């Protein structure tokens, strides 16, 4: 597998810019999830300079490359040909060539087979360079209004109902915002399963066609969203579902008392109150006063 020689450049507006040479490496290039203007300048230069551009669907990627005047030949790398195409790309990398890996949209390795190629590259001592950019899960999360300090991307749920419920049950206690991809025709069914497995009162958000002309963010409880889509026409476009974590249940006073006394048996009262605050989310001063009350009891 060989790349092309000759002029390597990209076009921004009416300006043609020469791409600087790339060091031999596997470059993971994030591409727009809809709006082609979301591409980064670094991504454009990397795609223009790479010896080989590997992509899921050459026809999809050609639209982006043509938009920015990048005349690189593309080679297909997807789940159906990874076993054959992967070794060829590794051989090219070992021969000193640069390979840019892109998906149809967004960041490579998120719900595509790119992780196999990265694993093989690392096993062969090949440098892997991330070129960050658009990501549908993060775009939806930031616009959802849900907590973003901890989140879990769970990809697509299983198609079969029993397996889907089992997967959701396994995720029920995860203390983080859950992020899923879903197809339009399965959205209503999946939301119904989420209500059953996770509870209908959780806050949630549906991101559809993000960054595109008909972008939509719909928020509400899981039950409200499930009811809406159960009665609506099948939506169009690519969909991201964000679901808030289950609300933590308040500890019973008796449990907190036992915790405070247990900690106080091993450390000073002030430190015990501080540790209890970390473990329960309570206020240190209030817990300290409660511990003193417990110690003063006959």
Condensed to tens digits (0 to 9), the pLDDT of residues 9-49 reads 999 999 999 999 999 999 999 999 999 999 999 999 999 99
Cβ–Cβ under 8 Å, residues 194 and 242: no
Distances (CA, A) of 172 to 165, 169, 194, 195: 10, 5, 9, 11
Assess whether pLDDT exceeds 60 at residue 3: no
What pLDDT is attached to residue 250? 53
Condensed to tens digits (0 to 9), the pLDDT of residues 162-201 reads 999 999 999 998 989 999 999 999 999 999 999 999 999 9
What rounded mean pLDDT belongs to the chain?
Answer: 93
Condensed to tens digits (0 to 9), the pLDDT of residues 230-285 reads 999 999 999 999 999 987 655 567 778 888 988 998 899 999 999 888 777 788 88
Query: What is residue 106's three-state secondary structure?
Result: strand
Q: What is the C-alpha to C-alpha distance for residues 170 and 273, in angstroms, rounded to an integer? A: 33
What pLDDT is attached to residue 277? 84
Q: Which residues contact 239 (CB under 8 A, 6 or more apart)?
A: 181, 182, 183, 184, 187, 206, 207, 208
Condensed to tens digits (0 to 9), the pLDDT of residues 128-138 reads 999 999 999 99
Q: What's the CATH fold of domain 7-133?
A: Cobalt-precorrin-4 Transmethylase; domain 1 (3.40.1010)
What percent of the chain clears pLDDT 70, i.e. is strictly above it? 96
List the beta strands (DSSP E) in the chain: 9-12, 15-18, 26-29, 52-55, 74-76, 99-102, 128-131, 151-156, 177-182, 203-208, 216-221, 239-243
Pick the CATH number of 135-241 from 3.30.950.10, 3.10.150.10, 3.90.380.10, 3.40.47.10: 3.30.950.10
What percent of the chain clears pLDDT 90, i.e. is strictly above it? 80
Cα pseudo-dihedral 154, 150, 102, 208, rounded to 10: 70
């Amino acid at each position: 597998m060989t790349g092309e020689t000759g002029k390597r450049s990209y076009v921004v507006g009416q300006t043609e810019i020469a791409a600087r040479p790339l060091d031999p490496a596997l470059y993971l290039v994030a591409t727009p999830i809809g709006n082609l203007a979301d591409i980064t300048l670094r991504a454009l230069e990397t795609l223009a300079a790479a010896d080989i551009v590997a992509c899921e669907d050459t026809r999809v990627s050609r639209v982006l490359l043509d938009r920015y005047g990048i005349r690189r030949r593309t080679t297909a790398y997807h789940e159906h040909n990874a076993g054959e195409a992967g070794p060829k790309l590794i051989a090219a990398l070992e021969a000193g060539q640069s390979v840019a890996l892109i998906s149809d949209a967004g960041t490579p390795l998120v719900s595509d087979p790119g992780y196999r190629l990265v694993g093989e590259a690392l096993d062969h001592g090949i440098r892997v360079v991330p070129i960050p950019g658009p990501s549908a899960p993060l775009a939806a999360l930031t616009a959802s209004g849900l907590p973003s300090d901890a989140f879990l991307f769970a990809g697509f749920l299983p198609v079969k109902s029993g397996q889907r419920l089992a997967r959701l049950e396994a995720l029920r206690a995860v203390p983080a915002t859950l992020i899923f991809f879903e197809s339009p025709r399965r959205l209503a069914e999946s939301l119904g399963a989420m209500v059953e497995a996770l509870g209908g009162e959780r806050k949630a958000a549906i991101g559809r066609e993000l960054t595109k002309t008909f972008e939509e963010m719909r928020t509400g409880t899981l039950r409200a969203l499930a009811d809406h889509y159960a009665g609506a026409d099948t939506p169009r476009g690519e969909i991201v579902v964000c679901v808030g974590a289950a609300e933590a249940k308040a500890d019973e006073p008796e449990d907190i008392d036992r915790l405070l006394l247990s900690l106080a048996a091993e450390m000073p009262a002030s430190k015990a109150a501080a540790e209890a605050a970390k473990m329960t989310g309570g206020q240190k001063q209030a817990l300290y006063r409660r511990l003193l009350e417990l110690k003063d009891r006959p």
